[in-house]
Amino acid sequence: MSLLEVEDLAIHFGGVKAVDGVSFSVAPGEVFSIIGPNGAGKSTIFNLISRIYKPTRGTIRFDGTEITGFQAHQVAPLGIARTFQNIELFDHSTVLDNLLMGRHTHRSTNFVQDMLFLPAVRRAERAHRRRVEEVMEFLELEAYREKMIAGLPYGVRKVVEIGRALAVGPKLILLDEPASGLSVEESQDVAFWIEDMRRDMGLTVLMVEHDMRLVAQVSDRVLAVANGKPLAQGTPSQVKADPGVQAAYLGTEVAQ
Amino acid sequence: MKVIFKTSYDRDIDLHKDVWSRGRIAALVAVMAALPFLVGEYYLAEATNTLIWALAGMGLMLLVGHSGQVSLGHAAFLAIGAYTDSALMNIGLPFVVTFPAAALAAGLFGALVAIPAVRMSGIYLAIATLALFVIVEEMIIILEPITGGVGGIQAPAIEIAGISFDRYGHLDHFYWLCLTVVVAVTWAYANLLRSPTGRSFLAVRDSEVSARALGINVTRTRALAFGLSCAMTGLAGALMGHYIAFFNYELFSVFISINLLLVVTIGGLGFIQGAFFGAILITAVPQLIAILRGAARDSLGVDIGGMPGLDTMLFAMILVGFIIYEPTGLYGRWLKTKVWFELFPLARRDMFRRQKSYLKTERQK
Ligand SMILES: Nc1ncnc2c1ncn2[C@@H]1O[C@H](COP(=O)(O)OP(=O)(O)O)[C@@H](O)[C@H]1O
Ligand SMILES: [Mg+2]
């Protein structure tokens, strides 16, 4: 059974058919990538899954639950976490606090308990902290623990955002261009992390990425989209060899 | 420079990072508690006023500084607190009941109006809160049997367990009462900020889309922040009523709302301490002007007493100055000065220059 099932998904912004009839399903433990030229509708697919946008048509099912009518904040508790293409961190908080904010779905105390800082709050804080420290160790973020996001280099912020998503403790993680703007070494780290997420954490990964090397290295299956429509789906090499995909990518890295 | 070696997560969870910071706060509270023995009636009354302003300032700080919403109508919640407390006392309820009731009334009313209002942002929210203020002001005048209408209302003398906290008879007691409330609220506020609730406020403030993706219900979080902010402001209002002793709707003018905004902006947005710095400034400036006036009259023979609006103009000038030259407020300035001394002589001139942020194109709402 698949973990995520997207069927005939479509959204129109005025006349722009940003996504138009996209279907795919992601099996548990799979790394599934969506590729396509700029403006193809990849980020929009993510925004539809995380319910920031309301689809014009189609359904999204996660883990047996239809989430098409859910509100955005109801998605994370099911076990879906994400990153954003243009990094959406809490800029005026530290790395540690950003990751702790990722623990929101696991909070066990209410605001009255919090104000009085009852023992239950301290216990919960310790537990959140232990979990967040594990994530920081995994992504080697310890050196930045107390640093404000606003002063961090771009590459570190990208990793912090992955960390915040991992702190949610999701079943499915959506990564929107995790390697864009990163150096070759940093991209390689991302590739290793994705493999570890799948192997050691049992995570399912849905990724949008331009770096075809990274896509080919980590993905089980790939979906290519252009102008909001699906072009091809299959293993990385199948998709790369698809004539429609090559045409859409003419002059870009896939064609080389 | 001080380096703290952390040995357990509790070091980060605790309110104070080391015994020095704990000691400093304890010393400050001790000095504050001893104030009635150190200064005369006049300055004690001023200190009481400053405490009440700091309390109201904390209320607005939670809203503006920590949840990123603006309110031009916070005087309305001061008024709700003051009238709830005094009206209930006037029908015979004791202060220990009416005081929490003032917080509850202001808080619930705030949370209720927040639910539609929090969907707005920026200027729209500012206008909505201003409109709300006008409505509350009208309500006060209409509800004459309870509020005394235009004539006003008497805030009865406070008595708890047989001890009088009358503002005129026992100013020292009233001062201690205000101090206790301020210390308790500050403690609760600081607790809030180190717990999931406070983090959800900051999350909503800094990136709504991320907050939602992390499972934070933005509407509910904002309404909670609004309610808590109004509850704190309601407490301040109740105390303000007793401080003034006899008041009508004019006590809670729109200028009070604006002054409160000045308190949090000049004090330093996003820091509890900022509310205190701001409150000190806002209560000290009129004193300063009075002294200047006296000096100008005595030495120069110029009478500037006849210039109304001088305070407001001075405040406005200070505010503009801060927004341009020190957007982090007095507290930010204080932090920088502290770091400069800690690092001396290593401090560099451009140490605090803001880093250029990457462009957030395509940033989602
Ligand atoms: N909120 C929106 N309003 C209008 N048009 C949008 C919106 N979001 C995305 N689009 C349009 O949808 C198309 C796909 O965008 P996007 O999903 O960001 O592409 P990409 O594949 O590069 O991630 C683009 O033409 C974009 O302009
Ligand atoms: Mg995109």
Mean pLDDT within A198-218: 93
Chain B residues touching A77 at Cβ < 8 A? 215
Mean pLDDT within A70-98: 95
Q: Looking at chain B, which residue has its C-alpha nearest residue A148?
A: B355
pLDDT of residue B356: 38
Do the chains contact at B214 and A81, CB–CB below 8 Å?
A: yes
pLDDT of residue B358: 37
CA of A88 to the centre of ligand 2 (A): 13
Does residue B364 register a pLDDT over 60? no
pLDDT of residue A198: 94
* Minimum mean pLDDT range among A77-91, B26-40, B138-152, B294-308: B294-308
Does residue B309 register a pLDDT over 90? no
* Minimum mean pLDDT range among A222-226, B240-244, B287-291: B287-291
pLDDT of residue B282: 87
Does residue B336 register a pLDDT over 70? yes
Question: A18 CB less than 6 Å from ligand 1?
Answer: yes
Residues in contact with B178: Cβ distance below 8 Å, sequence separation at least 6, in sequence order:
B48, B51, B52, B55, B239
Burial grade of A147 (CB within 10 A; 0-12, 13-18, 19 or more)? middle
pLDDT of residue B303: 66
Amino acid at B241: G
pLDDT of residue A236: 93
Angle formed by the axes of helices B19-38 and B41-61, nearest 10°: 140
Mean pLDDT within B332-343: 71
Does residue B360 register a pLDDT over 70? no
Distance from CA of A154 to the nearest CA of B (A): 8
Average pLDDT value over all residues in chain B = 85
Please give the Cα distance from A52 to B165 (Å, whole number). Answer: 54
CA of A177 to the centre of ligand 2 (A): 7
pLDDT of residue B159: 86
**Pair A157, A149: CB distance under 8 Å:** yes
Residues in contact with B84: Cβ distance below 8 Å, sequence separation at least 6, in sequence order:
B98, B101, B102, B105, B106, B234, B238
* Minimum mean pLDDT range among A41-55, A151-165, B308-322: B308-322
Mean pLDDT within B109-115: 88
DSSP structural state of residue A53: S
Chain segment B3-32, per-residue pLDDT in tens: 566 667 787 888 877 788 888 999 999 999
Tokens 């400053």, located at residue:
B50
Please give the Cα distance from B31 to B24 (Å, whole number). Answer: 11
Please give the Cα distance from B316 to B140 (Å, whole number). Answer: 29
CA A121 to chain centre: 30
Does residue B151 register a pLDDT over 90? no
Mutate to test the pocket of ligand 1, among A13, A19, A49, A85 (most ligand atoms within 8 A of CB): A13
Polymer length in residues for chain B:
365
pLDDT of residue B144: 84
Do the chains contact at B206 and A104, CB–CB below 8 Å?
A: no
pLDDT of residue B357: 38
Mean pLDDT within B305-314: 68
Strand partners, A222: A33, A234
Does residue A251 register a pLDDT over 60? no
Residue in A42, A93, A117 to test binding to B, most B beta-carbons within 10 Å:
A117
pLDDT of residue A140: 94
Chain segment B49-103, per-residue pLDDT in tens: 999 999 999 999 999 999 988 888 999 999 999 999 999 999 999 999 999 999 9
Write out residues 162-201 of B within 8 Å (CB-CB) of A. Answer: 188-189, 191-192, 194-200
Residues in contact with B6: Cβ distance below 8 Å, sequence separation at least 6, in sequence order:
B12
Polymer length in residues for chain A:
256
SS (H, E, C) chain B: CCCCCCCCCHHHHCCCCCHHHHHHHHHHHHHHHHHHHHCCHHHHHHHHHHHHHHHHHHHHHHHHHHHCCCCCCHHHHHHHHHHHHHHHHHCCCCHHHHHHHHHHHHHHHHHHHHHHHCCCCHHHHHHHHHHHHHHHHHHHHHCHHHHCCCCCEECCCCEECCEECCCCCCHHHHHHHHHHHHHHHHHHHHHHHCCHHHHHHHHHHHCHHHHHHCCCCHHHHHHHHHHHHHHHHHHHHHHHHHHHCEECHHHHCHHHHHHHHHHHHHHCCCCHHHHHHHHHHHHHHHHHHHHHHHHHHHHHCCCCCCCCCHHHHHHHHHHHHHHHHCCCHHHHHHHHHHHHHHHCCCCCCCCCCCCCCCCCCCCCC
pLDDT of residue A248: 79
Q: Which of B196, B209, B361 sits opposite A104 (nearest CB)?
A: B196
Grade residue B350 by pLDDT with cuts at 50, 70 and 90.
low
Is some CB atom of chain B closer than 8 A to the CB atom of A2?
no
**What is the residue extent of each domain of chain B?**
15-256
Is some CB atom of chain B closer than 8 A to the CB atom of A52?
yes
pLDDT of residue B329: 74
| B230: nearest Cα among B52, B55, B48 | B55
Q: Could you count the other beta carbons within 10 Å of the beta carbon of residue A98?
A: 29
Question: A77 CB less than 6 Å from ligand 1?
Answer: no
* HSE-CB for B159 with a 13 A CA cutoff: 12
Chain B residues touching A116 at Cβ < 8 A? 188, 191
Chain segment A149-184, per-residue pLDDT in tens: 988 999 999 999 999 999 999 999 999 999 998 999
Does residue A139 register a pLDDT over 60? yes
DSSP structural state of residue A189: H
DSSP structural state of residue A249: T
pLDDT of residue B354: 46
Does residue B278 register a pLDDT over 70? yes
Q: What is the pTM of this model?
A: 0.89
pLDDT of residue A147: 93
Mean pLDDT within B128-153: 89
Does residue B113 register a pLDDT over 50? yes
Chain B residues touching A82 at Cβ < 8 A? 213
Mean pLDDT within A237-255: 75
With a pLDDT cut of 90, the percent of chain A lying above it is 88
Q: Which of B10, B188, B200 sits opposite A104 (nearest CB)?
A: B200
Average pLDDT value over all residues in chain A = 93
pLDDT of residue B269: 86
For A101, A213, A250, A256, B90, the CA distances from A253, given in Å and listed in that order, are 37, 9, 8, 5, 79
Chain segment A93-117, per-residue pLDDT in tens: 999 999 999 999 999 999 999 999 9
Grade residue B345 by pLDDT with cuts at 50, 70 and 90.
low
A26: helix, strand or coil = strand
